[in-house]
Amino acid sequence: MHRTDDFDYALPPDLIAQVPAAARGDSRLLVLQGADRVDARFADLPHWVAPGDLFVLNDTRVLKARLLGHKTSGGRVECLVERVLHDKEALVHFRASHAPRIGSAVHFPDGAMLRVLGRAGGLFHVALEATPCTWLEWMEQQGELPLPPYIERSPDAHDEERYQTVYAQVPGAVAAPTAGLHFDAAMLERLRSAGVEFCVVTLHVGAGTFQPVKSEFVRDHAMHAEWYEISADTVAAVARARARGGRVTAIGTTSLRALEAAAEGGELKAGAGETRLFITPGYRFQVVDRLFTNFHLPRSTLLMLVSAFAGMASVRAAYAHAIAARYRFFSYGDAMLMDRETS
């Protein structure tokens, strides 16, 4: 029985990357193969692949999901959109001195307002009123990119480019699938030239990805839900990789969760839906052989996932090494490439 404390570590605050590297691909890369570690550069990634490998990318696009409004009484309200349900309704987080009541309205500078329809767990179900815009149109016009809470500055125009992957296509995330931020078009082409095949999944990253696990025991944590979709083309690409002996590499924990959620019945299947898959040590992986990922928050579900994937002892030692070697952590930080533990 794992305790949440087993996934804690002390991180010097100055190792939390506040800005991206000067250019995509300028980051460092820690390669983890069992107990063996190699300090490398992201630019070296083609050295660590083989012809026939498959890279699975998450093509979600980050929404301008943070909006500032006020209650009818004048109280300030920050709204973070978690999920757009359809053109005029969404699930949101509110941050205010007192949460808006059901039936009340939150007003915005352009005249639009949100009507609070009800609660959905820790979220609010709201309707967009007094504007002809759809949710996606309104957020694009009025919203702000929601940088993670550990980046202690407001987003700027540079973030609007760098906090999206170069292959982002499907709007719906409130946080970037940050492993993909390292890749530019030139690296994707180098990998293709090295014999790597690519396919995509979609998983819309929710704000819950930043929440630490607060329960004493890991098993008592309630995992947040995220929407994902796997296409028939991706299922076929995985089957081809398996047939030729290639390795399936998930680019990011979100790609991994989408693949493993779609294979919970024992076979990878195309489809769409919500997943609350909580991967902790002891989980038996069905699809993914390798994982390319950033460094994750202490006591987070993502640190538990990578510990399940590469082994708790190996990951703990790798993180201690990364801190000592002054790697940059979290969304705009450096990266790891890890093999799945086989023992």
Per the CB < 8 A criterion, the answer to whether 272 and 203 are in contact is: no
Residue range 180-188: mean pLDDT, rounded: 98
The per-residue pLDDT for 207 is 81
Each residue's pLDDT tens digit, 258-297: 999 999 988 999 999 999 999 999 999 999 999 999 999 9
> What average pLDDT does this structure show over 119-129?
93
Query: For residue range 236-256, what is the model confidence (pLDDT) as tens digits?
Result: 999 999 999 999 999 999 999
pLDDT at residue 1, rounded to an integer: 80
Q: What pLDDT shows up at residue 210?
A: 77
Give the pLDDT score at 265.
Answer: 86
Which amino acid makes up residue 241?
A
pLDDT band at 342 (very low <50, low <70, confident <90, very high): confident
Q: Mean of the pLDDT values across residues 83-99? A: 92
Mean per-residue pLDDT for 26-38? 96
Q: What is the mean pLDDT of the chain?
A: 95
Query: What pLDDT was estimated at residue 258?
Result: 98
CA distance 11 to 330: 11
Taking only the tens place, the pLDDT of each residue in 135-167 is: 999 999 999 999 999 999 999 999 999 999 999
Q: 343 pLDDT exceeds 90?
A: no
Tokens at 21, concatenated: 């590297």
Mean pLDDT of 190-198: 98
**Side chain identity at 266, as an amino acid letter?**
G
Q: How far is CA 108 from CA 18, 53, 143, 232, 332, in A?
A: 29, 49, 11, 42, 31
> Of the segments 78-87, 199-208, 279-288, which one has the largest average pLDDT value?
279-288
Please state, in angstroms and rounded to a whole number, the distance separating the CA atoms of residues 291 and 84: 29
pLDDT above 90 for 121: no
Q: Is the pLDDT of residue 209 over 90?
A: no
| Residues β-bridged to residue 292 | 251, 337
Q: 109 pLDDT band (50/70/90 cuts)?
A: very high
Q: Which amino acid is at 80?
A: L
pLDDT at 88: 96
Q: What is the structure's pLDDT at 331? A: 97
Class for the domain spanning 66-142: mainly beta
Tell me how far CA of residue 45 lies from CA of 31, 42, 176, 289, 298, in angstroms: 9, 5, 21, 16, 26
Which fold, 4-62+159-339?
QueA-like (3.40.1780)
Give pLDDT, residue 13: 97
How many beta carbons lie within 10 A of that of residue 28, not counting itself? 20
SS3 of the chain: the string is CCEHHHHCCCCCHHHECCCCCCCCCCCEEEEEECCEEEEEEHHHHHHHCCCCCEEEEECEEECCCEEEEEECCCCEEEEEEEEEEECCEEEEEEECCCCCCCCCEEECCCCCEEEEEEEECCEEEEEEECCCCCHHHHHHHHCECCCCCCCCCCCCHHHHHHCCCCCCCEEEECCCCHHHHHCCHHHHHHHHHCCCEEEEEEECCCHHHHCECCCCEHHHCCCCCEEEEECHHHHHHHHHHHHHCCCEEEECHHHHHHHHHHCCCCCCCCEEEEECCCCCCCCCCCCCCEEEEECCCCCEHHHHHHHHHHCHHHHHHHHHHHHHCCCCECCCCCEEEEECCCC
- β-strands 36-41, 28-33: how paired? antiparallel
Q: Which amino acid is at 295?
A: F
Domain extent listing, the chain: 4-62+159-339, 66-142
> Hey, which residues does 300 pair with through a beta bridge?
212
| CA dist., res. 340 & res. 343, Å (int) | 9
To the question of pTM greater than 0.85 for the whole model, the response is yes
Q: Are 210 and 264 in contact (CB under 8 A)?
A: no
* Residue with more model confidence, 31 or 98: 31
Percent of the chain with pLDDT over 90: 92
Predicted local confidence at residue 212, as pLDDT: 82
